[in-house]
Chain A
Amino acid sequence: MAKYSSHTDNEIMQLVVERDSLAFSELYDRYNRMLVNYFYKMLWQDEEKAQDFMQDLFTKIVEKPKSFDIKRNFKTWMFSVANNMCKNEYRKQAVRKNTSYNLDESYQIKDTAMNAMDSLQDTQFSEKLTVELAKLDEKQKSTFVMRYFQHLSIKEIAETLECSEGTIKSRLFYTLKKLTVSLKDFAPQLVKMLLIMIGINS
C-alpha cells in the first residue's frame, strides 16, 4: 500500500487503468470514508445505502477506469459521479412513492437510534439539521454537504458541480441563511456547548 502513497490521485488512476490492484487499493483507502459519508448525508442517513452506493462507485472505477478523463481532478470527478448517483436515487424515490420522500420520519427514527448516547442538545440539533438539509433543493444540499461535511474547497465544488466559484459561495451563503431561520432556536445552546468545549466561559 505504501508503494503508491506518494503518488497523486491521477497517477494512481493511470495505474488502475493498467489493472494494478495495489494502486486501486491505495485509491480506495484514500476515498472510501469520504464517499460513504457523503452518500450517508445525501441519502437520508441510510448507512447500508451509503455503503452500497460507495461500492457501486468503486465498481464503476474498476470496470470502466477509462471513463475517467485524466485531464480532470480525480477528486472532483469522483464527487461529480457520486452527485449524479444521488440525483438518480432522488428520481427513483420520487417515482417509487409518487410523492416526496417522507424524510422527517426516516431521519427521526435513524438519528434517534444512532445518537442515543449523545447529549440531548446535540441530538436535537443534529436531527433538526438533517431534516432541514433534506428540505433543501438538490443543488443547495450537495453544495452544503460537500463544503461543510466533506471539506471540499470552493474551487473543488465548483469543478464538481461545473459552475463558477462565485455561484458556489453565493449558494452556500443563502443556504446558511435558510438553515439559520430553521435552526436558530437550537443554536444558542450549541454555541454554549462549544464555548465550554473550547474553554471559554461567557
Chain B
Amino acid sequence: MKEKTTYNPQDIEDLLLNKSFDELHSDEKEFVLTHVENETEYKELRNILISVKQIAAEQESVYVPNRIKEDLIQLMEKKKKPFGWFNLNSIAAFLFPSNTPLFKKPGLQFATVGLLLLFTVNIGIDFVNQPKKELAINTNNKSEQKEFEKEEIIEQEPKKLEETIEKLNSNKAIEKEFKNTPSTKETITVQDQTGYFDVSDGKVSEVIETREESDEKVNNIRIEEPKVTSVPLIKAEINKVDFLAVADVEEEITVSKYIKADNLSVTFSSPTVDLNNTVSLNSVIVSTEKSKKTTVKLKSQNLGDNSDVIDLLFVAL
C-alpha cells in the first residue's frame, strides 16, 4: 500500500535546508513538485535559503556601546522606590490605572462615593435641623400659656370698664348729650374687607355678611391712631373684639365712624394727642392667621396695647 504523505506544504523549508533534490524520496519529490515547478526551481530555492542563512550568521555583529547599558541601569536605579516613603506615583497609578476603562478606575469610584456621602450628610443635617424649628414653635406655645394667664387678668378689666360705663350712662348729663348726638343711636358699622357688622349701642348685633372661609381665626387687632371716641364706643369696640374673635372674622375690620361726647374730658398720655372732651376711634383693624391659639395670644396683646386708653378711662371716671 502506498504510504500517506506526512508533509504539510509549510514543511518544505526543512527539505530545502537538509536535502538536495536528488536526495529526496519519491513521496518527498511528489510533495515538493506540488509547490515548485521543477528540479531547477527547487535548487534555486535551496541555494538562496542556504545563502541567506549564511549571510545572516555573518552579519550578526552590530556594535552596541556600553553607555546604553549604563544609562539604562542608571534609569533603573532612579526608578527604585525610596524605602519608607509613600510613592505618589504608585498612588496615582493605583487610583488611575492606565489599562482599565474609565468607570473601573478606583479614583473615580472613590470620588463618586465621596460625593454621595457629602450629599447624604448635608441632607442629614437638614433633617436634624427640622425638629429644632418645631421646638421653636413649642416654645411660643409655652409663652402663649403665660400670655393666656395674662389675658385672663386683662379680661377682668373690661368688666370693670363695663361697670364704670354703666355708671356713666346713668349720669343724666351724659344721657342728654347722647340724646343730642344722633350718631350714638345710629348703627355703627364695622367693616371688614368683605362684610359688614351692625354695631348698636356698643355691641355687634348682626352679622350682615361674612366670608365663606371660616377656618381662619382672628389673630391680630390693632387700633390705629386713636383720636376721638366716646366711651360707649370703646365699650362697643371691646365687645366687638370679643365677638369677632368668636365669630372667626377674616382679614380686617375697620371702624370708620366715631362718636362725640362733649361732656367727657379725656386726656391721653400720648403727647401728640391733645383732645378736648372727645374720643375718637378711627379704625380697628383685625387681620387673620390660621392659628387659633395665636389669635388668643394676639388678642390679649392688643388689649394690653389698649391699656393706656383703659387707664385714661379710669382717670376720666
Contact = CB atoms under 8 A, between A and B. Distances in A.
A170 B64 CA distance: 34
Nearest to A64: B98
B64 A169 contact: no
Nearest to A55: B68
Interface of B: 8-13, 16, 35, 41, 44-45, 47-56, 58-60, 62-65, 68-69, 71-73, 75-77, 79-81
A58 B70 CA distance: 12
A21 B71 CA distance: 12
Contacts of B16: 176
A36 to B, nearest CB: 5
B9 A173 contact: yes
Given A173-B35, A187-B48, 16 more contacts: A21-B76, A28-B69, A32-B69, A33-B64, A36-B64, A55-B72, A125-B51, A148-B52, A149-B56, A169-B11, A176-B45, A183-B48, A186-B51, A190-B47, A191-B51, A194-B54
Given A19-B76, A62-B75, A194 B51 contact: yes
A40 interface: yes
Contacts of A183: 48, 51
16 contacts: A25-B73, A55-B71, A55-B72, A62-B75, A62-B79, A125-B55, A148-B56, A172-B10, A172-B13, A173-B9, A176-B49, A180-B48, A186-B51, A187-B51, A190-B51, A194-B51
A13 B24 CA distance: 45
A47 interface: yes
Interface majority SS on B: helix, strand, loop or mixed?
A: helix
Nearest to A169: B10
Interface in A46-60: 47, 50-51, 54-55, 58-59
A50 B62 contact: yes
Contacts of B13: 169, 172-173, 176
Contacts of A50: 62
Nearest to B69: A28
B62 A59 contact: no
